[in-house]
Amino acid sequence: MRVPAYAAPGARAPLAPFAVDRRDPGPTDVQLEILFCGVCHSDVHQARDEWGSAKFPMVPGHEIVGRVTRVGQGVTRFKVGDLAGVGCMVDSCGRCEPCRRGTEQYCTQGAAFTYNSTEMDRTTPTYGGYSTQVVVRESFALRIPAGMDPAGAAPLLCAGITTYSPLRKWNVQPGQRVGIVGLGGLGHMGVKLAKSMGAEVTLFSTSASKQADARRLGASHFVNTKDPEALKAHAGSFDFLLDTVSAAHDVQGFLSLLRPGSVMVLVGAPPEPMKVGAMALIWGNKALAGSLIGGIPETQEMLDHCGKHGIVSDIEVISMQKINEAYERMLRSDVKYRFVIDLASLKT
């Protein structure tokens, strides 16, 4: 079936109307009428081929929430009318060790990502959520908790799981001191999620104007990182740091804030290599780690956690026709804190 979409025809071209051919649902597939799709910073990077290996025409979007309209005869977890989500992946090999343990994002055969990728046949291109319909294997569709705002839920499928996964992996506990570095699409979710886990949250930012928002979101403390003395005052006092910043910054300076035996996890991706001295880690038995989204089981766990705690993303809803403007605004950090496309605007 051919459905309307928006695509980037090339790296330097604005997104424009496009048509996508979606397959009919197979025995284990669900078809969603897409209601909302979040706009991730990685959409800009990939649509402009800033990471390399872009495939054009490209239909971005991997934060999808929609209504189930058709199900295959073998589908057992969804029925027509259910709300469901699709995140960053639509398939994987299902056989390798990462897949068997529910970390499909690390599939040794290479997961099928929701866009700018291929299906597991390595031939059929994948197109994302800047469209009105999507068909996906049941095992890669996610249940949206009852009562959750579907627009606010959409960014949870990337920003939510990207910040939830390291907090869970490193076992953040009530009463621990957790620092979130940066307050943007990822950082604001990090604050909300760490707070919901009972942590005492500190937000680190170069912008003093973000202090009020940090406290509104759940941070107990705010540190302006432009003041080196402010950082020194917190040396050796944090159990966990989550770094969400994608611009060049002094990672080693933050390592000094960790208690012995603690960890700092990177989920932001600065374009240039970072300089970290070995002694910054050795002296104090500290760890510097990275984390990539989360597997399907953990993403469902994250959604259920957010449903229980009343957490959604702070969003600004836009029409599909405003996507190019939204990209430019996002690059200026002119959004609090995530754009979400209302796909009804593409159906009229």
Which tens digit of pLDDT belongs to each residue from 107-154? 999 999 999 999 999 999 999 999 999 999 999 999 999 999 999 999
Peptide bond into 60 cis (omega under 30): no
pLDDT at 141: 98
| Integer Cα distance of 220 and 214 in angstroms | 8
Kindly state the tokens that stand for 257: 């804030």
pLDDT at 271: 81
Tens of pLDDT, residue by residue over 104-117, are 999 999 999 999 99
Rg of the chain on CA atoms, in Å? 20
Q: Is the pLDDT of residue 348 over 90?
A: no
CB 142 within 8 A of CB 65: no
Q: Among 72-76, 133-137, 269-273, whose mean pLDDT is lowest? A: 269-273
**What single-letter DSSP state applies at residue 251?**
H
Domains of the chain in sequence order: 2-157+314-347 (3.90.180.10), 160-290 (3.40.50.720)
Q: Is the dihedral of CA 293, 296, 302, 306 positive or negative?
A: positive
| Integer Cα distance of 182 and 242 in angstroms | 9
**What single-letter DSSP state applies at residue 342?**
E
| Integer Cα distance of 110 and 117 in angstroms | 10
Average pLDDT of the segment spanning 174-180: 98
Pairing of strands 83-86, 142-143: antiparallel
Beta strands in 73-139 (DSSP E): 83-86, 89-91, 112-113, 133-137
CB 115 within 8 A of CB 59: yes
Tens of pLDDT, residue by residue over 195-209, are 999 999 999 999 999
Residue (of 9, 298, 321, 338) closest to 165 by Cα position: 298
Tens of pLDDT, residue by residue over 229-261, are 888 899 999 999 999 999 889 899 999 999 999
What does each C-alpha distance from 155 to 41, 50, 56, 189, 347 come to in angstroms? Answer: 11, 22, 24, 9, 21
| Integer Cα distance of 294 and 88 in angstroms | 9
